[in-house]
A and B are shown apart, each in its own frame.
Chain A
Amino acid sequence: MKKRRDIPGKIAIGLTGMSVVIIIAIIVVMFTVIIIGGKDKFTWEFLSTFPQDGMTKGGIFPAIYGTALLVIIMAIAAVPFGTITAIYLTEYASEKSVIAKIIRFAVRTLAVVPSIIFGLFGLGFFIKFVGTGIDTAFLGGNLHWGQPNILWASLTMSLLTLPVVIVSVEEAILTVPREYREASLALGATKWQTIKKVVIPGSLQGILTGTILAVGRGAGEVAPILFTGAAYYLATLPGSLSDQFMSLGYHIYIMSTQSSNVDQTMPIQFATTLVLLLLTFVLNLIAVVIRVRIRRKQYK
């Protein structure tokens, strides 16, 4: 039983292995290039000061602040709704329920709808319908809510990140052993008590992962906020929900395509990209680590 030489097999393994190497190489190259391009400018001063001289000097503090505010409001909106939807899908809906199937399909559709469509929706629904509605109903037609602002941008973004939360929370809830639930029910706890005292505490890590992933996604997306609230340059930080804001991603886009002196601001652009990349990278990394821990727990 001598093992035959398997030349096509070797070639196949080589080719497929090569694809993996190519993908990883692209990731590494992107990282390296952006780090090299941005490392000189990447200082505390850059992170903590306002842009100066028509954005050619100074830092990106308002963009960081705006992004942080955006994702915080977004998470406040998306996480509870996402968690509750996940609880419904795993705890209340039966497996054969048509409604649950439709909800699942809707969630997956939400996940693949192009982000620019969310932007259009934010404009058409939040700004022109809800915002203008509030203005005409309560403010006598004064334009206040019926224009782009950070609240509408955050809510638009929360719709985009809703599926991310739902999927990770659902995954985590499924890792809570059925015996726990049964034990709780056998002790006389009601379904809602079981969910409150057993299921949710058992899936807290999943909710955390979902939140982190959603924040990472929300921080990086630009298309939904293009016309729902992001601003090119603001001299002050957003003070209320009806203010516009600056965001890291939008800053990169504007600086690299619309600005008049692209070459002069190159280091700023690279450094801003580096900040955004590091932010999303670290968030994703944390999420991956927590996820691995959840999966290990499941197999024990």
Chain B
Amino acid sequence: MEELSKEEKKKKRKNKEFVFTRESLKKKFRLSEFLAEKVISSVAFLSIAVIVLIFIFVFRETLPIFQTKDSQKASTEQIPTSTNSTGGELKQESYGGTETAEPASNAPLKQETYGSTGSETPASGGEKQEQYGVVTDSNLAAMETSMPEVHDTARESMASQYNENQSALRTLASKDWQPVSDRPRYGLLPLILGTLKLTLIAILFAAPIAIMAALYSSTFAPKWARETIKPVIELLAGFPSVVIGFFALMVMATLFQDLFGYASRLNSFVGGIALSLAAIPIIYTITEDALNAIPNTYREASLALGATKWQTAYNVVLPAATPGIFAAVLLGVGRVFGETMIALMATGNAAMISANPFDSIRTLSATIGAEMAEVVFGDTHYSILFLIGSLLFIFTFALNFIAEFYIKGKLMKRFQGKS
């Protein structure tokens, strides 16, 4: 009896104790845990989604000027949940608003328009093929596919819109930017060259100053100075660009005109200097980070060999940080290239091609900023502005890509002694 009860007690105790078994150690499924993880990771995808959406939607608005079969297909692919409403909307944008669909009765008429548009612009069709690789046949085929849903009258307007788009495409490479005139010309050349000129001026001014300042604060400055300089220069990054633009417009423009005595008060020089104020904090911060990332052993080795501080900085620190500095300048270029408000306010906004830094220019971004508010939604000018936006986006995306992967990869390799 006694023994049995002892055994029973033991059993009871055993049951009370927590025993680690394979089952008990397994992760329990908890709904809240699972949900939290799923929600958090799907929200994290938002940034990627935004980038993709920017790509899609900025390009989508440029599509009307490239009405080819491919782009039509692409536009339907981009919106997989293409419901009736979105389809209708797409139509509205490209063709100026048509709603009713008469597929059956329009079938024979289709051919007619096909022929007529073809005969209207036979010569230009040939040119088109040569110059831009926009195949006319596929264009018309695309029109054909969308035709059944379009009214008779709307078809005419669509054809004229189509012609207008084609002639607009042909003027893209011309030297004139005259979007508002009887025969609008959308030459991007002066805008691109103007932007490049402005970027060059701004970077030529910003890069040396910012890099030298970074070198000073990371290498030569005493500790207290370093801790003040960095936040102060970062404050410049917090200046709204419209404030810098206003300062350039009101103060710098007059000052420089008095100093140099040139003709037009607002020009690429004033704009360039103003833009360099926006680029300096970026170049400074990234360069300083690159310089600080260099292992201290490099510096100590150089100093121990008897090199002075300057010799160390020039022969050891700077070469080791070159890729990082290059990345800094690239990102500075990206900032200047896409900056809108300063360019809009301080460069004069005259689309002309000249090498003189004291001439007015018009940049890509300023063109969008100035003209988007005045265009008719959906017409050629509107699409061209979105095309400029796409160009800007692709350019900055590429710059960032290079700065991110190529250069950082190089930097890492160098520190690990692989190259």
Interface residues of A (CB under 8 A from B): 4, 6, 8-9, 12-13, 15-20, 22-24, 26-27, 30, 33-34, 37, 81, 84-85, 87-89, 92-93, 102-103, 105-110, 112-121, 123-125, 128-129, 132-133, 136-137, 159, 162-163, 166, 190-192, 195, 216-217, 219-223, 226-227, 249, 252-253, 256-257, 266, 269-270, 273, 276-277, 280-281, 283-285, 288, 292
B340 touches A107 (CB 8 A): no
Interchain CB contact (< 8 A) of B57 among A81, A103, A124, A163:
A124
Assembled-state Cα–Cα distance A113/B212 (Å): 26
CA gap between A284 and B239 in the complex, in Å: 9
- The reply to whether B57 and A129 form a contact with Cβ atoms under 8 Å apart is yes
B143 at the interface (CB under 8 A from A): no
Assembled-state Cα–Cα distance A191/B41 (Å) = 14
Query: CA of A281 to CA of B237 in the docked complex: distance in angstroms?
Result: 10
Q: Is B74 an interface residue (CB 8 A)?
A: no
In the complex formed, the residue of B with least CB distance to A163 is: B47
B247 & A34 in contact (Cβ 8 Å cutoff): yes
User: Per-residue CB proximity of B55-95 to A under 8 Å, as 1/0?
Assistant: 00110110000000000000000000000011011000100
Q: Is B216 an interface residue (CB 8 A)?
A: yes
Q: Is the CB of B235 within 8 A of A257?
A: no
Residue of B nearest to A134 (CB): B85
Stretch in B6-14, B133-141, B304-312 touching the partner: B304-312
Instruction: Assess whether A81 is in contact with B46, with CB atoms less than 8 Å apart.
Output: yes
Contact status B47-A107, CB under 8 Å: yes
Chain A residue at minimum C-beta to C-beta distance from B86: A133
Q: Tell me whether A116 and B369 are in contact in the complex, defined as CB-CB below 8 angstroms, given that A121-B58, A124-B58, A281-B235 are known contacts.
A: yes
Which residues from chain B contact A195 at a C-beta distance below 8 Å? Answer: 36
B240 near A276 with CB under 8 A, answer yes
Closest 8 CB pairs of A and B: A114-B338, A220-B240, A9-B310, A16-B216, A88-B44, A284-B238, A19-B212, A124-B57
Partner of A85, one of B36, B37, B47, B61: B47
Besides A115-B338, A159-B50, A223-B369, 10 more A-B contacts (Cβ < 8 Å) are: A92-B41, A106-B50, A114-B365, A115-B339, A124-B386, A128-B61, A128-B93, A129-B57, A273-B247, A281-B235
A84 touches B44 (CB 8 A): yes
Cα distance, A129 to B88, chains bound together (Å): 11
B213 surroundings in chain A (CB, below 8 A): 16, 19-20, 23
> How far apart are the CA atoms of A156 and B37 in the complex, in Å?
27
- Assess whether A24 is in contact with B232, with CB atoms less than 8 Å apart: yes
21 sample A-B contacts, Cβ–Cβ < 8 Å, listed by A number: A13-B216, A16-B215, A17-B216, A19-B210, A20-B233, A34-B247, A84-B43, A93-B41, A108-B404, A112-B331, A112-B396, A114-B334, A114-B337, A117-B54, A120-B389, A195-B36, A227-B372, A270-B250, A277-B239, A284-B234, A288-B231
Chain B residues whose CB sits within 8 angstroms of the CB of A123 once the complex forms: 61, 372
A120-B386, A132-B89, A276-B240 as given contacts; A85 in contact with B280, CB under 8 Å = no
Whether a CB of chain A sits under 8 angstroms from the CB of B45 is yes
B241 at interface, CB cutoff 8 A:
yes
Q: Is residue B294 within 8 Å, beta carbon to beta carbon, of the partner chain?
A: no
Select which of A92, A256, A285, A288 is within 8 A of B37 by beta carbon. A92
A243 CB to closest chain B CB (Å) equals 18
A118 vs B58: C-alpha distance in the bound complex, in angstroms? Answer: 9
* Bitwise interface map of B from 292 to 319 toward A, beta carbon under 8 Å scored 1, else 0: 0000000000000000111101100000
Q: Is the CB of B58 within 8 A of A288?
A: no
Encoded as 1 (CB less than 8 Å from any A CB) or 0, chain B from 332 to 357 comes to: 00110111110011000000000000
Complex Cα gap A217–B369 (Å): 19
In contact, B88 and A220 (Cβ under 8 angstroms): no
A282 nearest CB across to chain B (Å)? 10
Please encode chain B, from 237 to 257, with 1 for each CB lying within 8 Å of some chain A CB and 0 for all others: 011111111110111000000
